[in-house]
Structure 1
Amino acid sequence: MKKLLPLAFVALCLVPTASQAHDGQIAAGVAGGLLGGMLLGGALAPRPYYAPAPVYVEPEPVYERRCYWSRGEAYWDDWRERWVRPRVRVCD
């Protein structure tokens, strides 16, 4: 249907002028109409989308944290009435 409608429009435009045209004026009108349609169609046609080139981004380095358990600083515990050295987690 989309291709039939423009052909019908061109045929209807040529009918009244066919009796009045002389010496190749119909051919010139058809050629001019086709050329104008191609120029207008080319100007109004959607442009293809070109995506930008992919860009490589190096990921940030992952630092592995090393942790270990150690004996903490000694303090006096009044409840137990003795010196206590708690376990402390140390991470580098």
Structure 2
Amino acid sequence: MIESRMRKVAMAGALAAITTAGALAVTTTEAAAWCRGYGCNNGGAVAAGVIGGLAIGALAGAAAANAAPPPAPVYVAPGPGPVYVEDVEPGCYRAPRRVWIDGIGWRQRVVTVCE
């Protein structure tokens, strides 16, 4: 369970890094192409790319950080064992005896013995 949690955190971090890098590359490239067409300096393009990348990275990081932790393990004690109640008349008891069973032969069985 811990391994799967660590794997999820690692995957979320990798996804955030890839998203941030992609957003930074896309915004910087498009801003630079626009500026080249109109003859402006590259300082604004770099700033726009950095700000856009940071914003998208912050959103991706916040989404990955809001994952709920797994519930704590709970110990459940085993229930009581089975209880056997035998109704026997006063003066009687249960004891193992050899009995004859038709088609099978002699077998050991617990029978009620009254004296």
TM-score by length of 1: 0.48
Larger radius of gyration: 1
TM-score by length of 2: 0.41
Greater RCO (CA < 8 Å, at least 6 residues apart): 2
- Identify, as 1 or 2, the structure richer in helix: 2
